[in-house]
Amino acid sequence: MTTPRVEPPRPHHAVHYVNRVGWLRAAVLGANDGIVSTASLMTGIAASGATGESILLSGIAALVAGAMSMAAGEYVSVSAQSDTERADLAKEKKALATQPHAEWEELRDIYVERGLDRDLAGQVATQLMATDPLGAHARDELGISDLSTPRPVQAGLASAASFACGAAPPVVAAAIAPSLAGISVVPVSLLCLLLLGYVGARLGGARPGRSMLRTFFWGALAMVVTAAAGHLFGAAI
């Protein structure tokens, strides 16, 4: 009788999605903003009684203006974050040069708060400060790491691209049939919002249902409110 072969345990590799948070947030925000703002504007223009050509023109203008606004806004905000981080790192570098023992105690206390005993925390702080003191303090005291390093140009271009991708479907729907622009923009945009909710949830490792419902609800609400405003003011004018 032969002994059954026992397979060695396979190494456990957990799949984590936290490293996607930065770019995923920016991509979903840009695409969602592109769909909602462009489709809402076009819906509002349509509700005012404008022609299909005017609806299409408003969509094109919204796409271009929104993409440029997203690029500029993201560039400015990320640049401000980068300036703040550089200023904090400069302060930390000066403190390490003038008060190295106080900085060592600060790093040790951080590790104690995280669960290490005082002696081990001191050893860890000593070893880290011997190799890369500024990197250790940046990571563990300030929360600055290579993963979160701000890149203004990259962030601006990514935001503009994601906004344009989101704004494109309602504009294309109006361009295919300008005479039906007031009717086709809404279902196309809502379908894209559902798809965006699904893709965003899958990339983030979450369940799609709640994400799809969330993007659909708020997008539909924005279109309804804008359409009401367009109808109200269009009738008044």
Q: Compute the distance between CA of residue 220 and CA of residue 193 in angstroms, rounded to an integer.
A: 9
Q: Where are the domains of the chain?
A: 21-232
Checking if the pLDDT of 14 tops 50, the result is: no
Question: What DSSP designation does 12 have?
Answer: P
Q: What is the band of 227 on the pLDDT scale with cuts at 50, 70, 90?
A: very high
Of 41 and 153, which is predicted with more confidence?
A: 41
Average pLDDT value for residue range 161-166: 94
pLDDT at 77: 87
pLDDT at 17: 44
Checking if the pLDDT of 202 tops 90, the result is: no
**Are 223 and 189 within 8 A, CB to CB?**
yes
Amino acid identity of residue 101, one-letter, is H
Checking if the pLDDT of 11 tops 80, the result is: no
Please, what is the average pLDDT of the chain?
84
pLDDT at 15: 46
Question: pTM for this structure?
Answer: 0.73
Exposure of 71 by Cβ count < 10 A (0-12 exposed, 13-18 middle, 19+ buried)?
buried
Q: How big is the chain by its Cα radius of gyration, in Å?
A: 26
Average pLDDT value for residue range 35-63: 94
Q: Write down the H helix ranges in 48-180.
A: 52-98, 100-113, 118-131, 133-140, 152-176
**DSSP-based helix, strand, coil % in the chain, nearest 5:** 85, 0, 15
Instruction: State percent of the chain over pLDDT 70.
Output: 86
For residue 31, CA distances in Å to 103, 177, 215 come to 43, 23, 11
Q: Tell me: the pLDDT tens digits for 61-115?
A: 999 999 999 999 888 988 888 888 888 888 888 988 899 888 898 889 988 988 8
Nearest to 66 by CA among 31, 96, 91: 31
pLDDT at 47: 92
pLDDT at 9: 55
Phi-psi region of 115 (alpha: psi -120 to 50; beta: other; left: phi over 0): left
For tokens 């997008």, the residue is 219
Average pLDDT value for residue range 26-37: 87
Of 141 and 55, which is predicted with more confidence?
A: 55
pLDDT at 213: 93
Checking if the pLDDT of 161 tops 60, the result is: yes
Of 149 and 186, which is predicted with more confidence?
A: 186
